[in-house]
Chain A
């Protein structure tokens, strides 16, 4: 029998380990930057400046972060149930349909504060329904949710291309997008929020759905750790056998979890469609559904971690766009690499550094205990 490792203290498990994984991911990304002949340090400085150096920079960073909070939560909720929902991309894409129907239909006649709740409901509902079929297939037929959600991403993309190229496009227009929504279909910006902290936002599309994302993060925390349903979801995630033994219905939990997950992904569509472009464009999700995987893994499926990780990725997106001006060899695709590396090191290789870290903590703990016993022995004399 080998010695069981000491349990890591919470701060090391939730803070240090993700940090080490992140640093390694960035070091490898730095290598790629060097490979294309640029300085990684200059790139990092440019990126941080681009993301936080101006009011617009911050606005864009938080705008992107909004997308990633939603998709990160989507992946995380499913993770808690032991399900891997790769379908966030497709669920968000299809969710756009809900937003668009409400935005096109009611945008001209109702004020935004009436349209907004309806659009939230519609996007969540459509996203949830898109996740329902894979969920049902997993629960009832045992078909792996990973495979089915990947397939559903492609099916969603086909449907949306079909709709945007044909049905939803205004007559006589060439661009594959809907017409611009009426005033009611446009969400107010959050420039005032940045004004409070002394920043001036001019053109960044940060809007009220950022607050909705934060609210969603809080509600997910409440759901997962403070409700009976959340307890059941986590039980299923830890041990489906234990859950079954406890009389928890597998079918019910899988379907509910996946629908919540899909609803969260669907709500992501609010941000770019109602918040920024005020119309639905082809491929508006832009991979945010996949970024959600990296965000959820880095944030360790905890809403606080997800919000932080989402802001980090928002920074990468915004800062990455800024780098491209000065270093033409580094485009947005650099983010895709970083995203992949984060998924690799924070996800697939998360156990790589754990044993050595545990060994260090064990040694430190033993030294501490020994010195403590020496001190008490000395005090006794």
Chain B
């Protein structure tokens, strides 16, 4: 029974840790499926987290924070779109620029506004997204097996966690069952065909970039107002890149993206739990190895040793309408 509880706690923290990855990963999915590579997930998430932390601290409302996060993140997304869609600039260069602008601006503004070394003030529970106890969680607790699973694992997360996981089937539906999704996939593979059909390539791609911004904003708000209680300098700590890795791992598909994010979140949870605890047989595994594992796995995948990851064909290439 103890073992079961430990395991459940591990899975529970896996879910918490994989939510920002999942949101960012789905964000990247919309953008990259439309043919716009986005290295800037990290920066948008960071800026979103800062906006959420700041506005939630000012107005005492997590929802206002969420809205601010989405707005800021979409604005950065539009900068990326302006550079890479309208001006046909290099998408990777533009994404890198956004990461730096976000990293610098959040610290400078945070320091100037709050003077706490780049942090935003610590949020009270009323200004955060709090855990929701699902109906019947307490009552079910005593039921063997199912009870603890329901109580520990499924119930007791903030609304953004449920939102993130609901977004997986939703994204699948949008991508594979709607006209927008069909066009989105088409524009990432063959923009000329979409153009010939009379659909505006730039407008489609702008919409994809906006979707990406919205989800990155939610991911940032989750970090600052649900998982944490306020913004901390460099809060994303490479999560945007891990999300990117997960996206490649999932071969740009939504359901697989969820599993990839859960896997990377699980590695993170295990790394945290194993700190200082030697493993049977292999002794103490260095934390750094666990932290590097998502990246190593992605490299192995990219090398084509676990099936081949083929990005959208028109990804990274600006579309030039024939004249």
Measured CB to CB, the residues of A under 8 A from B are 1-2, 32, 35-37, 84, 86, 133, 137, 141, 143-144, 146-148, 150-152, 154-155, 158-159, 161-162, 166, 290, 293, 297, 329-331, 333-341, 343-344, 347-352
Instruction: Verify A334–B96 contact, CB threshold 8 A.
Output: no
- Cβ of A330: which chain B residues have Cβ within 8 Å of it? 108
- Taking the complex as formed, is B192 at the interface, i.e. its CB lies under 8 A from any CB of chain A? no
Check A148 against B299 for contact (C-beta < 8 Å). Answer: yes
B104 near A344: Cβ-Cβ < 8 Å: no
Would B97 and A155 count as touching, CB distance under 8 A? no
A341-B97, A347-B94 as given contacts; A158 in contact with B89, CB under 8 Å? no
User: B interface vs A, CB < 8 Å?
Assistant: 39, 79, 82-84, 87-94, 96-105, 107-109, 111-112, 118, 238, 241, 244-245, 248, 286, 288-289, 291-292, 295-296, 298-299, 302-304, 309, 311, 323
CB distance from A146 to the nearest CB of B (A): 5
Indicate if the CB atoms of A343 and B93 lie closer than 8 Å.
yes
Chain B residues, CB < 8 A from A158: 288-289, 291-292
The answer to whether B292 touches A137 (Cβ under 8 A) is no
Where chain A touches its partner, the secondary structure class is: helix
| A345, closest chain B residue (CB) | B97
Please indicate the chain B residues that have their CB under 8 angstroms from the CB of A329 in the complex.
Answer: 108, 111-112
Q: Tell me the nearest residue of chain A to B118, going by C-beta.
A: A333
Q: Which residues of A contact B98 (CB under 8 A)?
A: 340, 344
> CB within 8 A of A143: which of B93, B102, B304, B323?
B304
Report how far A338 CA is from B104 CA in the complex, Å.
8
**Closest-CB distance, A113 to chain B (whole angstroms):** 36
- From B83, B292, B303, A348 is in contact (CB under 8 Å) with B83
Contacts of B93 in A (CB 8 A): 84, 293, 297, 343, 347-348
Residue from B89, B303, B304 within 8 A of A350 (CB atoms): B89
Given A347-B94, A352-B87: A141 in contact with B112 (beta carbons within 8 A): no
Since A35-B112, A84-B90 are in contact, a sample of 18 more A-B pairs with Cβ atoms closer than 8 Å, ordered by chain A residue number, is A36-B111, A137-B303, A141-B303, A143-B302, A144-B302, A147-B248, A151-B245, A151-B299, A155-B299, A162-B288, A297-B93, A329-B108, A329-B111, A336-B100, A337-B105, A338-B104, A340-B98, A340-B101
A133 contacts which chain B residues (CB < 8 A)? 299
B94 touches A348 (CB 8 A): yes
* Inter-chain contact A86/B89, CB cutoff 8 Å: no
Contact indicator B238/A344 (Cβ below 8 Å): no
15 CB-based A-B contacts, threshold 8 Å = A86-B92, A133-B299, A137-B299, A147-B244, A147-B298, A150-B244, A151-B295, A154-B238, A329-B111, A333-B104, A340-B101, A347-B90, A348-B97, A349-B94, A351-B89
When distances are taken between beta carbons in the complex, the residues of chain A under 8 Å from B79 are: 344
Chain B residues in 8 Å Cβ range of A155: 292, 295-296, 299
Contacts of A333 in B (CB 8 A): 103-104, 107-108, 111, 118
Known contacts being A32-B105, A158-B292, A161-B288, is A339 close to B100, with CB within 8 Å?
A: yes
Q: Which residues of B contact A337 (CB under 8 A)?
A: 100-101, 104-105, 108
Cα distance A2–B298 in the bound complex, in angstroms: 45
Chain B residues near A347: list those with CB within 8 A: 89-90, 93-94, 96-97
Q: Which residues of B contact A141 (CB under 8 A)?
A: 302-304
Known: A137-B302, A348-B89. A336 touches B103 (CB 8 A): yes
